[in-house]
Structures are given as structure tokens and as C-alpha cells.
Structure 1
Amino acid sequence: MVAILELDQGNTRCKWRLLVPEAEGESRVAGRGVLAAEFWLGNDDFPSCWVESGVNRIRIANVAGAEREKQMAARLSGALGVAPEFARVTPHCYGVTCAYPEPQRLGVDRWLAVLAAYRRDPGPSLVVDCGSAVTLDLLGEGGAHLGGYIVPGLGLMRRSLYRDTDAVKVSPALVPRMPLSPGRDTAAAVNRGLPLMVLGAIERAYAELWNVCRDSPAPHIWLTGGDSAFLSTLSPLSDRFAHCVVDDLVLEGLALTNP
């Protein structure tokens, strides 16, 4: 069997999926999982399906730096005999134009997610990756990437409060569809305040996008990343905005930069 291994190497984890070809040029996901960010530094065995599936291509999105890229390339080439392909940001790809004057300074994960969103729906979109950081990218009419925003993610904000304050050391208590009314104790104030900040950023970015694309249909919101499913259940995102959670949005973009 011939297969394509795709990896999304972030700062705190590495998501992977294995694609195998089917009829008419389509592929199906034959396996998926998550590795620790430091996996490449050790001698842990690769998932058995990587070895058994006959991988002949490896596509990677890496935002963990040049040294991690070298580590990944060395281990994958040595163990699987396949030189991995690393996605790069370019000024134009798949009908999308990058807003950055220096495209290489845009995180490749953001670029891939925007490309995948455009492939799914070429209309105006807000693409939100809810990971260690929350990135919000605005995609306007005609595939025009308009730039974006980066704010701390839920875990990062919590760790900052825990580390840098004396009395705001609160354990997570994040439940789908939880209310975001004002907390009446410190734990509730933190656990409701953190998602409130992210949702506020989404609302503000959405308003900015729609102001630019006022003559188009209402923009769609695409959510991906580890906290996306949780945030999608919270009001006002859950009941006022057309949105979709796509776990593999970054990985989907790899087929566009590295077809």
C-alpha cells in the first residue's frame, strides 16, 4: 500500500494523519494521532502504521523552528527512507494572495488553514486556530488574505496568571456550553474570563472583516485547533455566527502547497 504521511508540528504537540489513495484520486484517512512536541528528540518508536503502510510521501507543517525541522527530517528520512517535504508560505497559492509584504514571516500553519478554508468556500472567511496561541486570519473577496491577529490561547493565559500572580491560581473548569455570566468567586471569574477574551477577539475580528466585505454575504468562521470544539459551544459564537469546526484544517492545506 502507498500512503502519504502528514504532520502538523506545533509548539506543544504534533498532529499527524495517514492518507491512503482510493478511486478517482480521492484519499481516506487510515490513521491519525498526536505526538508530544519533544518526540523527535528521543528514541521512541514511530506509530506502527507509519512503518507498515508503505509511506512514499511525507508533508509537514512546522512552526517549531529550524532546529526542530532538522530533527524531524533526520528521523523520518532515516526510519522511513523518505525525505519529508516542508510547506512554505508563498506570495500566492491556490488563488489566495498573502497579505504579508514578506510572506515567509507568516506562520505556515496560518497560511495552510487559510488555503484550506478557501478551498472549502471561496467567500469571505475568518479562520481561527485555537491552539497555544489563538490566530485569527481574515480572508476577503477574491482570495485576498487581509492579515490577522495573534492573542494568547486559553492555556497560555491561565499559566501566565498562575505564574505571575499570588491569588489567581485557578484550576481549569471549562465545560461545553458553560455560561459566561460574571463569576462570583475567583475560580469562576478566571474560568469564564479566559474564553470571554478569546470570543471577544473573534467578534472584533469578524466585525472588521465584515466591514471590509460589506457587499458580500456574511463571512463564515472556520475553527480549528485544540480548543476549537469547546469554544464553538459558547454563546455568542454558538448561536449568532455561522461557523464550522474542522480538526484537520491545517493538514488539509498541505495538499495545496505540496500537491
Structure 2
Amino acid sequence: MILELDQGNTRGKWRLIRNQSAAGEAEVVARGTFAPGPWWREAALPAAWIERAPTRVRIANVAGGEVERAISARLQLDLGIAAEFARVTAECGGVRCAYSQVERLGVDRWLAVLAAHHRSPAPALVVDCGSAVTLDLLGIGGEHLGGYILPGLGLMRRALSSDTDAVKVAECFAPGMSLAPGRNTADAVNRGLPLMVLGAVDRALDFLRQHCAAGGVSASRLILTGGDGALLASFLPQPYLLLHDLVMEGLALTNP
């Protein structure tokens, strides 16, 4: 049994899997999410972790070194296993990293790109919609072309509320809601923010299509993940894949 953790900047999620099959498919036997905050300081860890007694734990952590050390200590204390943290490398799983300083790339972005390539070698735009929105372009032959980082929907709304006296509105993002021009401030904000992210997705897809056309490839994929992935997907006119566990899927490639 393997415990996998995806620790973001504000919250984390986990799943317990059986050893993956030859086809690379993991059997998920339990899963869960944490409320924002340091779950590793709670009195008890999730009951499934104790009951299932995993023999390994693989972790994607973007919350910094202090959090990494705290998680490692807690897992060693309660479960008696050493945490295995994913690292970004120049090449892994047939993908070549675009960054010259690979350690500067967020490991969650790297894992998502690796998992996307493992599912299919076709070029793809990988969009992770969390506290930040990241867009990574996976080109022909496993070439990571780089990407973009934007504030997430919640972060943008809070920035407007805190820095703009007249723009203090309740968050009201609903899947498939109208994105027509707002006729009041609340609608203008809550429709404008997804529109900004969709605009970035469109421009990134244009760049990827140009790259593919130059290499004689006609098809590319759009892959979404992250907490706001389903919301963003509800506004898209083009085909997409919504894969909630994409980051954790990549852990089997960096930490086999």
C-alpha cells in the first residue's frame, strides 16, 4: 500500500493506492482532502492511514522546506515510514524540462506534465487551477516548452476586495454560469476573473498550436486539474480532459 500526498500552498489532498499494475493504473482504495492549515499538527492523522498501514509515502510539496521537515517528522513518528519527496530533474519519463535551473520549477507543475505525457505522448496544455493557475506547454517529443503562472480565482478576488474600496463582493463562481458583461459590480467581478483565465488558456493554446504546426503535428490536448479545474472546464467550448489526481499520478514516475 502506498500513501500519496499533494501538498499545496494552502491545502493538501491524499490518496492510498495499491501497487500499480503493469499498465500503470493505480487502484485507489481511499482518498481525502485537508482543510487549509497545517494538518501535520493535528492530534490524529486520517484513520485510513493507520488502518491501511502503508509501506511507502510519496509526496509532492510546494509549501517549502519547513513544511517538508514537519511532514517527514510526523509521518516517521506515527507511521514509522520515511517520506519520499518528488524532485524536479532535467529529464524524467521522456520529458525534458524547459528550465535551465530545474529546481526553480514547481514540483507540482513537473509532476502534472510527466503524468500528462505518460498518458499520451501527444502535445498538451496542462492547466492546474489552484491558489495559483499554472499553464504548462508540453510539446512534440516530450519537450516541456515552459509555461505561465497567474493568480488563482480566489486570490484575484481577494486582491480586488482588499486593495479596491468600491469592489468588495461575495464570491459567486458557479459552473457554467453566464460570462456575459456584468450589469452590477458583483457580476462584473465574478464573471471577469474566469474570463481572464480563459483568455490565458486561449493564448497558450495558440502558442502550442503554432509549435505543433511547425513540427507537422496537427493535434494537441487540453488537460485540466486542480480545485477550480471543474469550474474552468464548464466554460470551455473545446474538448478537454479533467484529471483530479494528475499531480499524484506523476509521483510514480519521479519516485517509482
TM-score > 0.5 by shorter chain = yes
**Which of 240, 246, 251 pairs up with 1:254?**
251
Aligned pair count reads 253
What runs of 5+ residues in structure 2 fail to find an aligned partner?
none
The alpha carbon displacement at 1:27 in A equals: 3.4
Q: Does 1:157 pair with 2:165?
A: no
Letter in structure 2 aligned against 1:129: D
Report how far residue 12 of structure 1 moved.
Answer: 1.1
What percentage of residue pairs aligned between the two structures are identical?
60
The Cα of 1:23 is off from its aligned counterpart by 6.8
Alpha carbon RMSD of aligned pairs, Å?
Answer: 1.3
The match for 2:15 among 14, 17, 27 is 17
Asked if structure 2 preserves the Cα contact closer than 8 Å seen for 1:6 and 1:58, the reply is yes
> Residues 103-252 of structure 1: matches in 2 within 5 Å?
103-214=102-213, 215-234=216-235, 237=236, 239=237, 241-252=238-249
Question: 1:138-161 CA distances to partner (integer Å, 9 max, x unpaired)?
Answer: 000000000000000100000000
Instruction: Give TM-score scaled by structure 1 length.
Output: 0.94
Of 35-44 and 55-64, the range deviating more from structure 2: 35-44
Task: Kindly state the Cα deviation for residue 37 of structure 1 after the two structures are TM-superposed.
Answer: 4.3
Which structure 1 segments of 5+ residues have no match? none
Conservation of the 8 A alpha-carbon contact between 1:40 and 1:75? no
What SS does the aligned partner of 1:183 have?
coil
The answer to whether the Cα contact below 8 Å between 1:10 and 1:37 also exists between their aligned partners in 2 is no
SS class of match (1:101): coil
Looking at structure 2, the residues matched to 138 and 10 of structure 1 have their Cα atoms a distance apart, in angstroms, of 21
Q: Distance in 2 between matches of 1:99 and 1:127?
A: 14
How many Å apart are 1:81 and its aligned residue?
A: 0.3
**Runs of at least 4 residues of structure 1 off by over 4 A?**
22-26
**1:35-66 deviations in whole A, cap 9, x for unaligned?**
13433452331111101112100000000000
Instruction: For 1:22 and 1:243, locate their aligned partners in 2 and report how far apart those are by CA, in whole Å.
Output: 25
In the alignment, the residues of structure 2 paired with residue 42 and residue 143 of structure 1 have an alpha-carbon distance, to the nearest angstrom, of 40
Aligned to 1:213, what secondary structure does the other structure show? Answer: helix
User: Equivalent residue of 2:179, what SS?
Assistant: coil
For 2:109 and 2:175, locate their aligned partners in 1 and report how far apart those are by CA, in whole Å: 25
Q: Which residue number in structure 2 is paired with residue 32 of structure 1? A: 31
Q: Residue 40 of structure 2 contacts residue 74 of structure 2 at CA under 8 Å; is this kept in 1?
A: no
1:217 is displaced (CA, Å) by: 2.4
